Chains A and B, each alone.
Chain A
Amino acid sequence: DVKVTQSSRYLVKRTGEKVFLECVQDMDHENMFWYRQDPGLGLRLIYFSYDVKMKEKGDIPEGYSVSREKKERFSLILESASTNQTSMYLCASSRTGAASGQPQHFGDGTRLSIL
């Protein structure tokens, strides 16, 4: 089974802090994704990566950046955390792109609170 592991289930940070969310997958997948999930809004794509050191903006990249130095690891960075970034963050991976019909595999999520 594919395993996508997010480093923290719950995280509390202060406004203005630099925040790192880590995600690791164990199936040698090329593609990795970061979403945020908010009630009534579903999942919104922040960034994705289709190869090491490659990244593409999703629908809501403002206030975030990402890093993919190794194939199995994809990090989401909040450069200066703000209260409107309080949310559930979900990481996913897939063997190839959605355009080929491959499903995405999700981690259990990180519930981030910015105070």
Chain B
Amino acid sequence: AQSVTQLDSQVPVFEEAPVELRCNYSSSVSVYLFWYVQYPNQGLQLLLKYLSGSTLVKGINGFEAEFNKSQTSFHLRKPSVHISDTAEYFCAVSEGSNFGNEKLTFGTGTRLTIIP
């Protein structure tokens, strides 16, 4: 069965500093990987996704993530954060070869706080 681990529940970062949010997954088959962001009092919004091809994926708002199959990781990065990036970030995985399985499995989330 697939699973996702987000090791950091909270990450404080100074404004304009770089940030990395960590995500590790477990699956016995090929996977699709997603990062979602949740701003206060809102639902989840897709940041980026990895399906196949280039392991470096670029998303909205200057975020990018790198798929590393050998380390089973999909860490999210941004070179310079802004106050507006304050939100909760969720990593999610689906098993790409398990057709008929409609489910996404989410991590427990990382709360990113930007310090002015």
Question: Is B95 an interface position by the 8 A CB rule?
Answer: yes
Q: Which residue of A92, A101, A105 contacts B32 across the interface (Cβ within 8 Å)? A: A101
Judging by beta carbons under 8 Å apart, are B49 and A90 in contact? no
Question: Is B61 an interface position by the 8 A CB rule?
Answer: no
Q: Which residues of B contact A31 (CB under 8 A)?
A: 102
Closest to A90 in B: B43
Q: How large is the interface on A (under 10, 10 to 19, 20 to 34, 35 or more residues)?
A: 20 to 34
With A42-B107, A42-B109, A43-B106 as known contacts, state yes or no: A108 contacts B98, CB within 8 Å.
Answer: no
Q: Which residue of A4, A40, A99 contacts B95 across the interface (Cβ within 8 Å)? A: A99
Judging by beta carbons under 8 Å apart, are A104 and B43 in contact? no
Question: Is B84 an interface position by the 8 A CB rule?
Answer: no
Q: Which residue of B36, B43, B45, B99 contacts A99 across the interface (Cβ within 8 Å)? A: B99
Binding site for B on A (CB under 8 A): 4, 31, 35, 40-45, 48, 50, 56, 58, 90, 92, 94, 97-101, 103-109
Q: Show 7 A/B contacts (Cβ-Cβ < 8 Å), sorted by A.
A: A31-B102, A40-B9, A42-B6, A42-B108, A99-B97, A101-B96, A109-B41
Nearest 4 pairs between A and B by C-beta?
Answer: A98-B94, A106-B43, A97-B102, A42-B108
